[in-house]
Amino acid sequence: MSESATPHGSPGEKLRLAGLIGVLGVVYGDIGTSPLYAVQASLSYFPGNKLQESDVLGLLSLIFWALIITVTIKYVLLIMRADNEGEGGTLSLMALAQRVTQSDRTKWIIGIIGICGAGLFFGDATITPAISVLSAVEGMEVVSPGLKEFVLPIAIAVILVLFFVQRFGTARVGGAFGPIMVIWFVVIGALGLHQIFIHPHVLRALVPVYGAAFIMRHDLLAFIALGSVVLAVTGAEALYADMGHFGAKPIRVSWLFFVLPCLLLNYFGQGALVIRDPHAASNPFFFLLPHALVVPMVILATIATVIASQAVISGAYSVARQSTQLGLLPRMPIRYTNETEQGQIYVPPVNSFLFVVVVLLVLGFGSSSALASAYGIAVTGTFLSTNALAAFVYCRHFNWPLRRTVLVFGAIGLVDFAFFSSNVLKVFDGGWVPLAIGFSLITVMTTWRRGRALLHQRWQQDSLPLASFLGRLPQSRIVRVPGVAVFMTGNPEYTPSSLLHNLKHNKVLHETVVFVTVRNPGVPFVGDARRAKVEELSEGVYRVLLSFGFMESPNIPRALDLLREQGLPFNPMQISYFLGRETIVAATVPKLGFIRRAIFLFMLRNAISATEFFKIPSDRVVELGVRIAI
Amino acid sitting at position 287? F
The residue with greater pLDDT, 49 or 297, is 297
Among the listed ranges 45-49, 124-128, 373-377, 605-609, which one has the minimum average pLDDT value?
A: 45-49
> Do 135 and 128 meet the contact criterion of CB atoms below 8 Å apart?
no
pLDDT digits (tens, 9 = 90+) for 68-78: 999 999 999 99
3-state secondary structure of 591: coil
- Residue-level pLDDT at 136: 81
pLDDT of residue 169: 62
Q: How far is CA 103 from CA 1, 325, 402, 491, in A?
A: 20, 22, 18, 21
pTM, entire model: 0.79
Q: Is the pLDDT of residue 147 over 70?
A: yes
Q: Which among 431, 61, 425, 429 is positioned nearest to 221, based on CA atoms?
A: 425
Predicted confidence at residue 129, as pLDDT, reads 87
Strand partners, 485: 513, 576
Question: Over the chain, what is the mean pLDDT?
Answer: 84
Lowest mean pLDDT among 94-108, 391-405, 422-436, 438-452: 422-436
Range list of H helices, 482-583 = 497-506, 556-565
Mean pLDDT calculated for residue range 375-391: 89
Confidence of residue 313 (pLDDT cuts 50, 70, 90): confident
Q: Does the pLDDT at position 7 exceed 50?
A: no
- What pLDDT band is residue 343 in, cutting at 50, 70 and 90? low
pLDDT of residue 77: 93
Share of the chain above pLDDT 90, in %: 26
pLDDT for 171 equals: 52
How wide is the angle at C-alpha 524 spanned by C-alphas 519 and 527, nearest 5°? 75
The arithmetic mean of pLDDT across residues 354-383, rounded, is 85
pLDDT score of 60 more than 70: yes
CA separation for the pair 489, 511 (Å, rounded): 19
> CA–CA separation, 618 vs 610, rounded Å?
10
3-class SS of residue 109: helix
Contact between 157 and 358 under an 8 Å Cβ cutoff? The reply is no
Residue 266: φ, ψ to 5°: -70, -45
Backbone phi, then psi, for 553, in 5-degree steps?
A: -110, 125
Please state whether 437 falls in left (phi above 0), alpha (psi between -120 and 50) or beta. Answer: alpha
Q: Are strands 541-547 and 532-538 parallel, antiparallel or unpaired?
A: antiparallel
Q: What is the DSSP letter of 582?
A: E
Q: What is the pLDDT of residue 590?
A: 67
User: What residues contact 204, with CB distance under 8 A and at least 6 apart?
Assistant: 57, 210
Q: Is the pLDDT of residue 369 over 80?
A: no
Angstrom distances, CA of residue 537 to CA of 146, 315, 493, 514: 78, 43, 11, 10
**What gap in Å lies between CA 129 and CA 148, rounded to an integer?**
19
- In DSSP terms, 575 is beta-bridged to 484
**pLDDT at residue number 14:** 56
562 and 531 Cβ atoms separated by less than 8 Å = yes
Does the structure show a pLDDT above 50 at 164?
Answer: yes
Q: How far apart are CA 467 and CA 535, in angstroms?
A: 13
What is the average per-residue pLDDT within 82-103? 85
pLDDT band at 48 (very low <50, low <70, confident <90, very high): low
Q: Examine the pLDDT at 5 and tell me if it is beyond 50.
A: no
Nearest to 630 by CA among 453, 427, 376, 375: 453
Query: Of 25-39, 240-254, 260-274, where does mean pLDDT reach its minimum?
Result: 240-254
Task: For residues 64 and 38, give the distance between their C-alpha atoms in angstroms, rounded to a whole number.
Answer: 12
Q: Is 581 exposed, middle or buried (0-12, 13-18, 19+ CB in 10 A)?
A: exposed
pLDDT tens-digit series, residues 544-579: 999 988 778 888 988 888 887 666 767 777 788 988
Confidence at residue 245, expressed as pLDDT on a 0 to 100 scale: 67
pLDDT surpasses 50 at 220: yes
Q: Which pLDDT value is given to residue 65? A: 96
SS (H, E, C) 282-339: HCHHHHCCCHHHHHHHHHHHHHHHHHHHHHHHHHHHHHHHHHHHCCCCCCCCCEECCC
Side-chain-facing half-sphere of 245: CA atoms under 13 Å: 27
**Contact between residue 498 and residue 487 where contact means Cβ atoms under 8 Å apart:** yes
Question: 509: helix, coil or strand?
Answer: strand
Question: Checking DSSP bridges between strand 479-488 and strand 575-585, what pairing results, if any?
Answer: parallel
Supply the pLDDT for residue 6: 38
Distance between CA atoms of 261 and 253, rounded to whole angstroms?
Answer: 12
Q: What integer is the mean pLDDT of 143-169?
A: 82
80, 273 contact by CB (below 8 A): no
Across 10-24, 53-67, 478-492, which has the greatest mean pLDDT? 53-67
pLDDT for 567 equals 66
DSSP-derived letter for residue 87 is B
Least confident of 150-159, 444-453, 571-580, 599-608: 571-580
In tens, the pLDDT along 412-435 reads 999 999 999 998 888 888 888 888
Q: Is the pLDDT of residue 355 over 90?
A: yes
Give the distance, in angstroms, between the CA of residue 25 and the centroid of all CA atoms in the same chain.
Answer: 17
pLDDT in tens, 523-548: 878 888 888 888 888 888 889 999 98
